[in-house]
Amino acid sequence: MDKFLEFTGNHTLMVLVLMISFFAVIFIELRRKANNLVSIEATEAINLINKDAIIIDLRSVDAFSKGHIVSARNIPFDELDVKINSLESIKPKPIVTVCETGTTSNKAANTLRVAGFESVYGLRSGMIGWNQAGLPVVTGKKTKNKKQKK
């Protein structure tokens, strides 16, 4: 104990920065839990997909056509509020929201939770993380949105 106190006395600034960092991490995690913002890794998303989860890709139609998760539905983030009523049939299922980097997916997950969807998760690191994990994507210009327009 004497060595700990001596170390603290000799390195006050370093101990102070360590304590501030520790409490900042705790605060951020508690705030995330309080807001029900749940980000999941790609491997956890795969487990949910295997349990019949719905993937909602929030990127633009062009980005979606360049590569998306198998069976993902493309609803651009700016259209989510308008199309939220069309998702009522999938309310009981788990939903994973996906964007390019993971930032927008958390906002969309929060929007869906406020609308009454209970099991909503944002994909941490988005499609960038999915691709870095080496997980499969569907590519091509034929997407559901483009087929419906014809």
Residues 84-111 have pLDDT tens digits of: 989 999 999 999 999 999 889 989 998 9
Q: 127 with 72, same domain?
A: yes
For residue 136, the enclosing domain spans 39-141
Q: Is residue 148 domain-resident?
A: no
Q: 28 with 96, same domain?
A: no
Q: Are 41 and 129 in contact (CB under 8 A)?
A: yes
Give the model confidence (pLDDT) of 39-58 as tens digits: 889 999 999 999 999 999 99
Q: 53 with 107, same domain?
A: yes
Mean pLDDT of the chain: 87
Q: 65 with 96, same domain?
A: yes
| pTM of the full structure | 0.70
Q: 92 with 30, same domain?
A: no
- Residue 107 burial (10 A CB sphere; 0-12, 13-18, 19+): middle
Model pLDDT, residue 143: 43
